[in-house]
Amino acid sequence: RAKVIHAEGELQASSKLLESAQTLAKQPESLHLRYLQTLTEIASDKTHTIVFPLPMDMLKSLLGKLPNVEIEKE
């Protein structure tokens, strides 16, 4: 019985993950917001060193807003 309940939970979770991925694919900006939310959540943990990957396109868009910063075009 416990295995059936666990399997049903996994099925529901995978369905929600698929729905989330489809939503993020429609709105690329929402992925940037999710990154910022994650940074906010992990920033409160002062006991560990955190390595957080930052996509280059996000970094370029942030640097492009700074004065006197030239971004190399690919």
pLDDT, tens digit (0-9, with 9 covering 90-100), for 7-51: 999 999 999 999 988 988 888 788 878 888 888 888 887 777 777
Res. 73: pLDDT tops 70: no
Is the model more confident about 24 or about 52?
24
Is the model more confident about 26 or about 64?
26
Q: Would you state the structure tokens that stand for residue 43, as one six-digit string?
A: 């920033």
* Cα–Cα distance measured from residue 74 to residue 56, given in angstroms and rounded to the nearest whole number: 12
**Amino acid 3: pLDDT:** 94
Q: In Å, how far are 35, 39, 40, 41, 45 from 48, measured between CA atoms?
A: 19, 14, 15, 13, 7
